[in-house]
């Protein structure tokens, strides 16, 4: 008589086989920008195709201060998951990376040195890999409006304001601002740092050492003054107080506004949401006072990190090594196009880049035409800056008072970091 295994035994075999081939699910937290989502979805899909036992759950966090607080809280409570996309530079340092993030020094073989420096913890270990391209901070402009009004790309702030006056006189919105996303209000201040450094080459070091202040350095004060000036001149969209980043991108892409101050990562958003308008948008560095010294303030890419409390460190590290490879880099370019230089050795941009990228690349190709944003030269970035810049850009607080208030905010941050001379 033949004996057949019982249903319970079959179930047990199936269960044990299932455990033997169980999936590892890596939880990933990123910001919600369209180009971030597109790149992460493309990377995780490609990785799962090659590693079917690894799948991903992707969560999008808010931007700005709300997102910063969420990341810090989750890291402190051990609830940050397996992979975290977040800023490099000063905001990375504020995460206390030695305590909260995994050492990734052993997967840096293809990473360009300039990025390593902005994700290096105080103990000298490297805690992140680059995600996305380096970015410029400046001003998008609508080429059709410029052609219609016979405008030229400005090389000085005075020329920029003259263009704005012409645009306003033609009944158009000169400058889109999107203070509904408070982080976007910082651009006129932060993207002006090339001009600050050109005027005061020691500012970053002196600022870190508590020897220089925004309120008492005219070149540094200028960014706050720019916010006040465009508001007072009536150049802004009527809904600037509630408009969001996506609105600003739409406005400059479709010609609802002539200018939008923003980082060049927004090109990915234009490609995703307004592909038919991609070539209607150009880009220029935020101009200063000297047309002969017109250069670009540069932001390093965000990083991908592994929280120290992750229970899948080996799997997450292998995925990050994939991201930081030529293959991973090409997948990101495929998802979002070429919006700037990628900091991976051997990863080259295609020749048919969008016009706004072509506008940006000459700054990278000439000596002395770029400067890192201040947050990559100093560990200090006060957390209240985006609220302060909203106030200035909305006519609530004058520029001089705002700069002094930001100096006070910076002092709190410096003391929290334990910097000398504070």
Q: Give the domain CATH number at 72.
A: 3.40.190.10
Q: How far is CA 164 from the centre of its chain?
A: 26
Least-confidence region, from 15-29, 77-91, 135-149, 258-272: 15-29
**What is residue 354's DSSP assignment?**
-
Token couple for 189: 């201040």
Task: Using the predicted structure, report yes or no on whether residue 8 has a pLDDT greater than 50.
Answer: no
Closest CA to 197 of 205, 208, 188: 205
Residue ranges in 109-217 assigned as alpha helix (H): 113-116, 143-149, 157-169, 187-190, 193-199, 203-208
Which pLDDT score is estimated for 41? 98
Indicate whether 121 and 217 sit together in one domain. no
Cα 386 to Cα 384: distance, rounded to the nearest angstrom: 6
Task: Using the predicted structure, report yes or no on whether residue 214 has a pLDDT greater than 70.
Answer: yes
Indicate whether 243 and 204 sit together in one domain. yes
For residue 189, give every residue at least 6 positions away whose Cβ sits within 8 Å of its Cβ, in sequence order, or none.
Answer: 223, 224, 226, 227, 385, 389
Helices (H) and strands (E) in the chain, counts: 19, 11
Cα 224 to Cα 394: distance, rounded to the nearest angstrom: 12
CA-angle at 46, arms to 44 and 52, nearest 5°: 85
CA atoms within 13 A on the CB side of 246: 8
Dihedral pair phi/psi, residue 41, rounded to 5°: -65, -40
Indicate whether 410 and 278 sit together in one domain. yes
Which pLDDT score is estimated for 117? 87
Q: What does pLDDT average to over the chain? A: 92
Token couple for 55: 């799948």
Task: Pick the last residue of a domain from 334, 350, 366.
Answer: 350
Give the three-class secondary structure for 112. coil
Indicate whether 164 and 227 sit together in one domain. yes
The answer to the question of residue 152 being in a domain is yes
> pLDDT category, 19, cuts 50, 70, 90?
very low
CB-based burial, 16-31: b 16+ in 10 Å, e otherwise: eeeeeeeeeebbbbbb
The answer to the question of residue 212 being in a domain is yes
**What is residue 397's DSSP assignment?**
S
Q: What percent of the chain has pLDDT over 70?
A: 95
Indicate whether 99 and 35 sit together in one domain. yes
Which pLDDT score is estimated for 341? 86
Indicate whether 165 and 218 sit together in one domain. yes
| 312 touches 24 (CB < 8 A) | yes
Indicate whether 276 and 326 sit together in one domain. no
Indicate whether 256 and 332 sit together in one domain. no
Cα 322 to Cα 232: distance, rounded to the nearest angstrom: 49
> pLDDT category, 22, cuts 50, 70, 90?
low
Which pLDDT score is estimated for 26? 98
Indicate whether 366 and 390 sit together in one domain. yes
Indicate whether 153 and 210 sit together in one domain. yes
pLDDT tens, position by position, 95-120: 999 999 999 999 999 999 889 989 99
Closest CA to 356 of 251, 248, 263, 291: 263
Cα 410 to Cα 384: distance, rounded to the nearest angstrom: 9
Task: Pick the last residue of a domain from 318, 333, 350.
Answer: 350
Task: Using the predicted structure, report yes or no on whether residue 182 has a pLDDT greater than 90.
Answer: yes
Least-confidence region, from 234-248, 344-358, 393-407: 344-358
Kindly compute the dihedral angle of the four CA atoms of residues 298, 341, 323, 48, in this order, to the nearest 10 degrees.
Answer: 120
The answer to the question of residue 101 being in a domain is yes
What is the rounded average pLDDT of the residues 372-388? 92
Residue ranges in 51-103 assigned as alpha helix (H): 64-77, 90-93, 97-100
Indicate whether 169 and 306 sit together in one domain. no
Instruction: Kindly give the pairing relationship between strand 135-142 and strand 257-263.
Output: antiparallel
Q: What domain range is 111 assigned to? A: 21-134+301-350
Indicate whether 122 and 156 sit together in one domain. no
Task: Using the predicted structure, report yes or no on whether residue 75 has a pLDDT greater than 80.
Answer: yes
What is the rounded average pLDDT of the residues 309-323? 98
CB-based burial, 220-256: b 16+ in 10 Å, e otherwise: bbbbbbbbbbbbeeebbbeebeebebbbbbbbbbbbb
The count of domains in the chain is 2
Task: Using the predicted structure, report yes or no on whether residue 21 has a pLDDT greater than 60.
Answer: no
Dihedral pair phi/psi, residue 5, rounded to 5°: -65, 145
The structure's pTM equals 0.79
């Amino acid at each position: 008589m033949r004996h057949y295994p019982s249903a319970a035994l079959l179930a047990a075999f199936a269960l044990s086989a299932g455990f033997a081939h169980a999936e590892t699910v890596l939880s990933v937290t990123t910001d919600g920008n369209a180009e971030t989502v597109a790149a992460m979805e493309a990377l995780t899909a490609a990785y799962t195709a090659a590693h079917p036992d690894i799948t991903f759950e992707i969560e999008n966090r808010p931007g700005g201060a709300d997102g910063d607080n969420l990341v810090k809280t989750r890291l402190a409570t051990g609830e940050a998951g397996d992979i975290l996309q977040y800023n490099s530079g000063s905001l990375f340092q504020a995460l206390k990376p030695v305590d909260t993030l995994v050492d990734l020094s052993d997967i840096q073989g293809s990473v360009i040195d300039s990025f390593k420096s902005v994700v290096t913890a105080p103990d000298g270990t490297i805690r992140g890999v680059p995600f996305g391209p380096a970015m410029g901070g400046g001003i998008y402009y609508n080429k059709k409006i410029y052609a219609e009004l016979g405008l030229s790309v400005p090389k000085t702030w005075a020329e920029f304001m003259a263009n704005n006056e012409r645009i306003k006189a033609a009944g158009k919105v000169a400058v889109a601002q999107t203070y509904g996303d408070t982080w976007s209000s910082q651009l006129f201040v932060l993207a002006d740092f090339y001009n600050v450094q050109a005027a005061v080459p020691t500012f970053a070091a002196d600022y870190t050492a508590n020897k220089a202040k925004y309120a008492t350095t005219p070149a540094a004060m200028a960014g706050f003054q720019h916010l006040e000036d465009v508001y007072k001149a009536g150049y802004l969209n009527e809904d600037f107080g509630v408009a969001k980043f996506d609105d600003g991108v739409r406005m400059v892409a479709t010609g609802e506004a002539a200018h939008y101050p923003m980082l060049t990562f927004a090109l990915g958003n234009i490609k995703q949401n307004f592909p038919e308008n991609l070539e209607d948008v150009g880009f220029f560095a935020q101009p200063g006072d000297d047309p002969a010294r017109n250069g670009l303030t540069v932001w390093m890419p965000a990083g991908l990190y592994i929280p120290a409390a992750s229970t899948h460190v080996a799997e997450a590290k292998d995925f990050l090594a994939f991201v930081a490879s030529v293959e991973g880099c090409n997948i990101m370019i495929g998802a979002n196009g070429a919006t700037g230089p990628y900091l991976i050795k051997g990863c080259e941009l295609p020749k048919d880049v969008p016009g706004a990228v072509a506008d940006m690349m000459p700054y990278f190709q000439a000596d002395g035409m770029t400067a890192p944003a201040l947050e990559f030269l100093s560990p200090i970035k006060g957390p209240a800056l985006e609220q302060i810049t909203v106030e200035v850009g909305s006519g609530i607080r004058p520029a001089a008072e705002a700069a002094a208030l930001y100096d006070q905010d910076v002092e709190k941050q410096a003391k929290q970091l334990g910097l000398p001379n504070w």
